[in-house]
Amino acid sequence: METLENMAFANERRRGMSGFPLLTRRQFSLAPVLSSLAGGLLAQAPRARRPNVVLIVLDDLGFADLGCYGSEIRTPNIDRLAASGLRYNNFHTTALCSPSRACLLTGRNHHTVGVRTITNYASQAENNRGKITERAATLPQILLQGGYNTFALGKWHLAPIWETTAAGPYDNWPLAKGFERYYGFLDGGTDQFHPELVEDNHWVDPPRCAGYHLTEDLADHAIAFLRDQQSVRPDKPFFLYLAPGAPHAPHQAPKEFIDRYRGAYDVGWDRIRGQRFARMKLMGVIPADADLAPRNEGVRPWNDLGADDRRVFARFQEAYAGFVEHADYHIGRVLDFLARLHQQDNAIVMLMSDNGASGEGGPNGTFSILRGVNGIETSAADNLAHIDDIGTDKLENHYPQGWAQVGNTPFQRYKQSVHYGGIRDPLVVSWPEGIKDRGAIRPQFHHIIDILPTVLEAAGLRAPEVYRGVQQIPVAGISMQYTFADASAPGRRSTQYFEMQGNRGIYHDGWKAVVFHNKGVPFDKDRWELYRVAEDFSEVHDLAAARPEKLQEMQALFLSEARRYGVLPLDDRTQELRLEAKPDAPQNRNHFVYYAGMAHVTPSATPDTRNRSYEITALVERPDRWSDGVLVAFGGATSGYVLYILNNRLVHEYDAAGTVYKVESNAEVPAGKSTLRFTFEKTGDLQGWGRLSINGRAAGEVFMPRTLPVMISYEGLDVGRDSLSPVSESYRDRGEFPFQGTIEAVIFDLK
């Protein structure tokens, strides 16, 4: 029964500021106009009450990491969303973030639209351009032309990273792909306390306020976008795409959330995994006869670990759990605001993960995610030295593989693999006006490409055959709406291929063939596995030897689907592609001149100083001897380099993911104009001498025996300040530590 408060709110919405009634959606339709403009965009006139659409995409969240899927991590807001709708236990992604998001927003397979792997590894191959082809109109583009307002917040990761500078090009940024407003970060991950941030089409600084955290900031902006839209155009439906960085590494959260889990993981990952497995069966999330996959290679039994290992490994998981609960809290704020607007009943809300839990932390976890990228092993002793800072803004930590295995209960392997640990992920769907079987579980096989057609069916729209004059690739997804009312409805998706960096899989009619590819091994030497997943929920009973004819049939089907969707030729390169020169990239030169006050520059557009000699020259003027500050900074708290003046001394620091090489001038920097220089002379592979000079005079040197080969930092470059997390502890308490004098230019010359 509608309350008086609800009725009053509805009456106010129907009245304009002048007191006259607003036209309802039934009275005013754009369907005839849009149909002619969009080449048949609309399948029918929009419904009188088209649903609002909210897609929430969590990052690196495992199948078993939510309370409503059996986790001990508290997620009350997501759990109540599940209680008002459905949970899917047979939903699949691509195993990696950019490809999954490309599938989600286009309804096509990721190779087809040009996003074979993450955009950082883009190449010139047609299936790996690192951006969505114009031949695949996105969900926000379709909804926008269908009369929706469209908003995106959080992670994008669908543009070539070297195109994400203040100089553009902007044609692969969110606003060019159908969103009217955007606030978030463009790369694959970011520091949660000091994020790289973009608003609409320009870079912005993160707010510098006590207790800042990105997830809260994204929720604030989501609420602001909705408040503005509903205040002015309550007659229009909206599409909200909320993609927090959580719980992708670095696993960082406010202390009070991490403290809630103190001691909770001292029992270890084996017991926690067993508890989740039992709880999932009781909840009906997995079948009662499901098996628990064997321990992943490299994960040691908890009881075999030493006391120090157990202590630091438990602390890593405490930070992760706090991070997840913190994300749930702020997702709850957005859901509560929908309720306050009385929009929750006619809102279709879908919450999912983009892939399985990540094993990228290695067997010991790490206090700096840059260590693994650069091939630096992190020992438990290394981590123990930083134990009190895990989860804070001083580290960019990632948990060990043992906890990722827990996140992917009951499956084997992790993110990047196309075994179930990488691709079978949680999906919660709530739509009070469209789903009556609330709190139920749905077992039908579906894939992330099926989200777009599901939303379009609910909105009464269809994908265009021609968009902006370009013939479109047919949508490959299948609407899931048939499952909303009937748990026993036969599944309508019979076949789906998987491929990620050489790992391959094919599902067909309850069977799955899959191969884990070891990089560098010839593809024809890979060993395929075969599972009857209709009966073997956890993918643990390999039938390849017993059913060779079925395996051959599935392999042939994989090749057929691979040819159909542009998968071939296979390519297992990853970091090698990151290192390749990209046409038209800002890095394609050896001389760079930067000016004070410029916008932050992403890492993939900065001077490539790796494994070569180079010079950094700062032309400055100090009005007095107290004029200190950062001249140029690249990177953040656990990796990067910085040139700065402090206490009248010129200082250069290079943090090689935890190993710091520091040189301080043996002479003072004078007041007035000066030419200040840091020179790196390469003397061997990844090593050399770092030298300072002031006005042409040598001022100090340091030997740097190991610089980083692949990636110096996830954070980019600033001139005249250090806008994000501080590269040096020397000025941590000074904020951005802006230079107090004048910088004419900072010049990089690469040899």
Catalytic residue set: 97, 157
CA distance 650 to 676: 8
Amino acid letter for position 287: P
Helices (H) then strands (E): counts for the chain: 17, 29
CA distance 77 to 44: 35
Bridge partner residues of 53 (DSSP): 239, 348
CA distance 477 to 190: 31
Amino acid letter for position 56: I
- The 3-state DSSP composition of the chain as helix, strand, coil percent (nearest 5) reads 30, 25, 50
Is the CB of residue 685 less than 8 Å from the CB of residue 676?
Answer: no
Of 474, 480, 489, 421, the closest CA to residue 450 belongs to: 480
Locus of tokens 């919660």:
428
Locus of tokens 């001389």:
591
From residue 99, alpha-carbon distances to 256, 299, 369 in Å are 34, 27, 21
Locus of tokens 């009943």:
345
CA distance 730 to 734: 9
Locus of tokens 């395929």:
528
Is the CB of residue 396 less than 8 Å from the CB of residue 249?
Answer: yes
CA distance 423 to 418: 6
Is the CB of residue 612 less than 8 Å from the CB of residue 750?
Answer: yes
Secondary structure element (H or E) that encloses residue 669, with its range: none
CB proximity list for 3: less than 8 A, separation 6 or greater: none
